[in-house]
């Protein structure tokens, strides 16, 4: 067997979105791979016959398919595809044939839900102010550039660019026979379609109708009568709520969300609204862990999981991020709660049959890129339904990380993982790379991570932990980083290094490297400004100056206050937490990687850091990635992802 290589990205298969047919006898899913020649991601729809376990590819071509959904009678599948650049809606007979394109909207379709009659599909999509869904913007190659007038603070977004000031997301419905589209909502507001009731008479929609949304961090949910358009408030509180799903009898609506008790560090919960009584209960109030998937990794493409799935008995299933795992959990309306899947893995997609007998689960772990399994709910027994990565795993030797727990400051347990280098031999010494996740309110988990495996395959030990600020351990733990960037979180990471050195004689204390992206990039910058223990560092999509970040980031004007507890009226605090302030202390050779179109942590952050270090005679280099945004490492253009990884391993090879 050989070691993993950087271009194994082109060999790995991403298997996501398992979706059961209404009768539970069939399923569909999406397989994504990277086409090296065309330098792009290709995602197609696949089908499984659950009586024979036969798998069949249903769509072909070099495009991407997403969001597959069965009609209520199980005779048709609808999905989105970018076959013609914008995501449009297609339907496909479950008995075969070509997919039929249903929409040709100017800005494409954002999301959709079947009407239970099977003759209509509800959707949401952006529409130019004063125009209808049928409006088509004329393409003019000779059109002169025009200035953009900005009057709001939320005017740009990473991965999107400048937000259109004159377009709004509306809800519509398309008749599948005539392909006529009727617009359901109106006004200069952004609507999101959440759910359609099983009797077809009600919708759940999300909308904030405040005129100025600059300081609005809430999305009220409404139950809307399709005929009268009468609205009933489900939730209208500070925070984000969504992912609504009707129970089979339409008596309940489940949804997920979090208030702003701890700003964006607040745990997500699962709520159930009683449509008859009008009251809401918090199903997961007793669990000190967030509902949803907060794991970070770099392999799964386009994967999406339902926020919640109902059974006909009005039981519920959902994901929970806990102790480094993403587990499928079961709940009843009476308050029972328990896990339905095992520890030490990442359930990144799932569906449950109506009777609650079995589930389809997409599962990954550190040495398994991910496949789809059929899980017997009562016994926990599972059977693999796909094996797309089987040949790869027989060819490549992966390194299984060791879970570690150590005491950080405040005597808190801090959790993480340590990987030995591939081909490890007792008695030899090896360099160690510390890899810090972004967020900061995310978490490393028990999932496959190509980047971690590449470092190990390149001869490095790899240490990655969940310092305070990480999800999955407690509300107190995830909140503890706010207002203390560079404080206790830095101490947690240094304690992890001390623990690893004390417990593992094979680690060479004189050959330590550190890297991280986003918040992990901030922390990398902070570390090299506060210690010279590391002999090499790579900072990615980082923050170095909170003062400028306030005005240039798409989230800066509120994120700074939420996380640093300061705004531009308190520049002293912003500067105190800025790694740039400590640039003179940097003795570690620092490679700076940044994307040109990163609007989350704009490239000026990297420019400031590079020029400042260079002017002081520090050892540093700066690599800029064109046409890439904040998500380069996960979903960026494939060749640039390869170049990024090569830059990192080459830098560590040079200095470690």
Q: Which residues participate in catalysis according to the annotation? A: 518, 630
User: Which string of DSSP letters, residue by residue, matches 557-604?
Assistant: HHHHHHHHS--TT-HHHHHHT-GGGGGGG--S-EEEEEETT-SSS-TH
User: Which string of DSSP letters, residue by residue, matches 378-424?
Assistant: TT--EEE---TTHHHHHHEEPPPPEEEEEE-GGG-EEEEEEEPPTT-
Does the bond joining 440 to the residue before it have cis omega, within 30 degrees of 0? yes
Pairing of strands 316-322, 26-35: unpaired
Q: Which of the 8 DSSP states describes residue 102? A: -
Residues sharing a CB contact under 8 Å with residue 130, sequence separation 6 or more, in sequence order: none
| Nearest by Cα to 499 from 422, 571, 417 | 417
| Nearest by Cα to 551 from 159, 147, 153, 152 | 153
Q: Which of the 8 DSSP states describes residue 288? A: S
| Nearest by Cα to 296 from 359, 364, 242 | 364
Buried b (16+ CB within 10 A) or exposed e, 12-25: bbbbbbbbbbeebe
Compute the radius of gyration of the chain from its Cα atoms.
25
Q: Which of the 8 DSSP states describes residue 291? A: B
Three-state SS for 206-247 is EECCCCCCCCCCECCEEEEECCCCCEEEEECCCEEEEEEEEC
Residue 229 Ramachandran class (φ > 0 left, ψ -120 to 50 alpha, else beta): left
CA distances from 604 to 396, 485, 590, 650 (A): 40, 21, 17, 24
CA distances from 466 to 405, 472, 523, 550 (A): 10, 9, 13, 26
User: Which string of DSSP letters, residue by residue, matches 244-269?
Assistant: EEE-TTSSEEEEEEE-STTGGGSPPE
CA-to-CA distance for 604 and 551, rounded, in angstroms? 11
Please check whether residue 195 is in contact with residue 246, taking contact to mean a CB–CB distance below 8 angstroms: yes
CA-to-CA distance for 453 and 5, rounded, in angstroms? 9
Length of the chain in terms of residues written: 656
Please check whether residue 340 is in contact with residue 359, taking contact to mean a CB–CB distance below 8 angstroms: yes
Three-state SS for 169-204 is EEEEEEECCCCCEEECCCCCCCEEEEEECCCCCEEE
Cα–Cα–Cα angle for 640, 641, 643, nearest 5°? 60
Residue 365 has φ and ψ, to the nearest 5°, of -145, 180
Give the tokens for residue 564: 């640093």
Please check whether residue 324 is in contact with residue 403, taking contact to mean a CB–CB distance below 8 angstroms: yes
| Nearest by Cα to 167 from 184, 183, 189, 185 | 189
CA-to-CA distance for 19 and 352, rounded, in angstroms? 9
């Amino acid at each position: 067997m050989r070691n993993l290589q950087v271009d194994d990205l082109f060999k790995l298969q991403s298997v996501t979105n398992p979706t059961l047919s209404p009768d539970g006898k069939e399923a569909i899913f999406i397989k994504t791979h990277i086409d090296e020649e065309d330098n792009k991601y290709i995602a197609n729809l696949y089908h499984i016959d659950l009586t024979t376990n036969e798998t069949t590819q249903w769509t072909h071509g070099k495009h991407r398919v997403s969001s597959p959904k069965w009609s209520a009678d199980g005779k048709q599948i609808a999905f989105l595809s970018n076959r013609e650049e914008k995501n449009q809606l297609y339907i496909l007979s479950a008995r075969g044939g070509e997919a039929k394109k249903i929409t040709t909207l100017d800005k494409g379709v954002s999301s959709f839900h079947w009407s239970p009659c099977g003759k209509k599909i509800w959707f949401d999509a952006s529409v130019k102010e004063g125009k209808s869904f049928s409006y088509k913007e004329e393409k003019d190659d000779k059109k002169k550039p025009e200035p953009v007038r900005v009057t709001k603070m939320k005017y740009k977004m990473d991965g999107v660019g400048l937000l259109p000031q004159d377009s709004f997301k509306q809800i519509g419905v398309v008749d599948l026979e005539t392909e006529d589209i009727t617009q359901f909502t109106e006004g200069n507001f952004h609507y999101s379609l959440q759910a359609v009731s099983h009797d077809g008479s009600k919708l759940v929609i999300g909308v904030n109708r405040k005129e100025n949304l600059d300081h609005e961090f809430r999305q009220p949910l409404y139950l809307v009568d399709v005929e009268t358009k009468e609205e009933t408030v489900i939730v209208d509180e500070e925070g984000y709520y969504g992912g609504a799903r009707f129970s089979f009898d339409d008596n309940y609506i489940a949804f997920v969300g979090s208030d702003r008790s701890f700003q964006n560090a607040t745990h997500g919960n699962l709520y159930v609204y009683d449509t008859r009584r009008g009251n809401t209960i918090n199903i997961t109030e007793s669990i000190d862990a967030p509902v949803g998937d907060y794991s970070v990794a770099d392999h799964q493409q386009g994967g999406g999981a339902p926020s919640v799935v109902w059974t006909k008995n009005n039981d519920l299933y959902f994901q929970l991020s806990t102790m480094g795992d993403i587990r499928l959990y079961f709940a009843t309306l009476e308050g029972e709660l328990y896990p339905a899947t095992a520890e030490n893995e990442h359930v990144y997609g799932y569906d449950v049959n109506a009777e609650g007998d079995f589930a389809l689960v997409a599962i990954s772990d550190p040495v398994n890129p991910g496949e789809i399994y059929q899980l017997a709910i009562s016994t926990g027994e599972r059977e693999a339904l796909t094996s797309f990565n089987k040949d790869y795993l027989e060819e490549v030797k992966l390194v299984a990380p060791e879970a570690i727990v150590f005491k950080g400051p405040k005597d808190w347990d801090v959790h993480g993982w340590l990987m030995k280098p591939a081909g490890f031999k007792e008695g030899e010494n090896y360099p160690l790379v510390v890899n810090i996740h972004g967020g900061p309110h995310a978490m490393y988990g028990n999932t496959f991570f190509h980047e971690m495996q590449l470092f190990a395959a390149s001869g490095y030990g790899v240490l990655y932990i969940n310092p305070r600020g990480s999800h999955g351990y407690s509300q107190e733990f995830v909140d503890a980083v706010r207002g203390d960037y560079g404080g206790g979180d830095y101490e947690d990471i240094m304690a992890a290094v001390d623990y690893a050195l004390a417990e593992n004689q094979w680690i060479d204390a004189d050959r330590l490297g550190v890297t991280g992206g986003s918040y992990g990039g901030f922390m990398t910058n902070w570390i090299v400004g506060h210690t010279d223990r590391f002999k090499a560092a790579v900072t990615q999509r980082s923050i170095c100056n909170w003062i400028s970040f306030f005005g240039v980031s798409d989230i800066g004007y509120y994120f700074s206050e939420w996380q640093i507890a300061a705004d531009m009226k308190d520049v002293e605090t912003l500067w105190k937490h800025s790694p740039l302030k400590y640039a003179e202390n940097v003795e570690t050779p620092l490679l700076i990687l940044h994307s040109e179109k990163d609007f989350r942590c704009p490239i000026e952050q990297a420019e400031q850091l590079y020029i400042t270090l260079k002017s002081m005679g520090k050892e540093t280099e700066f690599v800029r990635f064109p046409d890439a945004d904040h998500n380069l490492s996960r979903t960026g253009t494939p060749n640039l992802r390869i170049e990024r990884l090569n830059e990192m391993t080459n830098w560590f090879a040079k200095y470690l």
